[in-house]
Chains A and B, each alone.
Chain A
Amino acid sequence: MNYIWFGLFMSGILVAAFTGHIHAVTEGVLTGAKDGVLISFGLISVIAFWLGMMKIAEEAGLVQLLAKMLRPISKWLYPSVPSDHPAMGSLIANMSANILGLGNAATPIGLKAMRELQSLNGDSTTASDAMCTLLAMNTASLTLIPATMIGLRMEFHSKNPGEIISTTMLATFIATGAAVIFDRFFRRVEAMRWRRRNRI
């Protein structure tokens, strides 16, 4: 993360300096900072709403029901999370929100899952295995109905706005599968390195 941040910043400043529009950097800093604050404030509304909804779903036993139904998948994906832990319910609700195309519900629920995983993680500053898997799932984001894209295609008078559902499903399935495999692979690599280091 540190290197990415450094790389984005420095390459930007260097390019601007050499191409002679250094003022673009100043402008970029200001608009970027403003965007960051605006997005955070914009999130208040959706996060508040979906955390409220999630609380109802929890008290009504809906989350637990969903968790029970999807237990085989979730146990395989998150072997380190006890299946009766509240984090499991949120992890599954997050996955369901992604699949249903409720993009703005997925993030608040995902953040709730992160908080619950963090309590299992002993408030460490290092990500746990389960967190890495959750992030892999959410950066790849299994989407069945790409609502935003269908909307945009309609605006541009596509003859068939929904025709990209099949291609999106195929692509998202491949990418999410790959993300889960990468997640497992790098975890194993990390464990192997750790073992080797401790033997020497």
Chain B
Amino acid sequence: MNLFSTLSAFALPATIAAILIVGITRKVRIYEVFTEGAKDGFTTSISLIPHLVAMMVAVSVFRSSGALQLFIHLISPLLHRIHFPAELVPLALLRPISGSGSLALVTDLFKHAGPDSFLGRVASTMQGSTDTTLYVLTVYYGSVGIRNPRYSVKVGLLSDLVSVFASLFAVHMIFGK
């Protein structure tokens, strides 16, 4: 399995090297072209500020006020009935709305249950197999001024739900209980 971590460590440098090597052999003026492309980085990021501030403020109020805990408290009996592990409920709910928040929850689970426990494995899979839906929607649509996302929110949240159960299923199937 060390192979995989080595592979993942090499993915970034290898991609950069490949782009540079092909560039220089095809006589691209790589330095000038790079700076020309990078120029747009500043304007793109700055245009995201209003959207990210709006979303982060709402998410932060939702979490710090205790509304998240209340919500978890309200729906856990329901999840308990379908044998969904109670410890994973907060993570499942926070994953689509806050990437750093859910990462903190995973860290907490690792501390208490250990990374190699059933919970630790499911948490790793849940965190790793999907992206933060609300963040992606905010950033992508915000950057080009889309105000009507049509059904994107629904699709994003539904596939998060699928990913939660798929993670449980995957760990069950590959490692057993």
Binding site for B on A (CB under 8 A): 1, 4-5, 8-9, 11-16, 19, 21, 24-25, 27-29, 31-33, 35-37, 39-41, 43-45, 47-49, 51-57, 59-62, 100-102, 105, 107-108, 110-111, 114-115, 117-118, 123-127, 131-132, 134-136, 138-141, 143, 145-150, 152-154, 156-168, 170-172, 174-176, 178-179, 182-183, 186-187, 189-190
On whether the beta carbons of A125 and B148 are closer than 8 Å, the reply is yes
Q: Are B49 and A8 in contact (CB under 8 A)?
A: no
The docked-state distance in angstroms from the alpha carbon of A8 to that of B144 is 24
Query: Which residue of A is nearest B134, CB measured?
Result: A4
**Cβ of A172: which chain B residues have Cβ within 8 Å of it?**
128-130, 163
Give the one of A32, A57, A170 with max B CB within 10 A: A32
Known contacts A100-B11, A136-B155, A174-B163: A37-B49 contact under CB 8 Å? yes
Known: A21-B66, A127-B141, A170-B170. A43 touches B48 (CB 8 A): yes
Which chain B residue has the least Cβ–Cβ distance from A160? B1
Find out whether the CB atom of A40 lies under 8 angstroms from the CB atom of B163.
Answer: no
Tell me the bound Cα distance from A150 to B130 in angstroms.
Answer: 15
Q: Please, how many angstroms separate the alpha-carbon atoms of A22 and B67 in the complex?
A: 12
* Chain B interface, number of residues (Cβ within 8 angstroms): 106
When A32-B58, A162-B2 are in contact, do A127 and B148 touch as well, CB less than 8 Å? yes
B155 to A183, Cβ gap below 8 A? yes
A167 touching B121 in the complex, CB below 8 Å, given contacts A28-B60, A32-B59, A33-B56: yes
9 smallest beta-carbon distances between A and B, as pairs: A48-B41, A55-B37, A32-B60, A146-B128, A36-B53, A52-B38, A32-B57, A175-B163, A162-B1
Residues of chain B lying within 8 A (CB to CB) of residue A179: 155-156, 158-159, 162
- The answer to whether B22 and A60 touch across the interface, beta carbons within 8 angstroms, is yes
Q: Determine how close the nearest CB of chain A comes to the CB of B76; give it in whole angstroms.
A: 16
A56's partner among B20, B49, B106 (CB-CB below 8 A) is: B20
How far, in angstroms, from A104 to B175 measured CA to CA in the complex?
Answer: 30
A68 → chain B, closest Cβ, in Å? 15
Pair A28/B149 contact, Cβ less than 8 Å: no
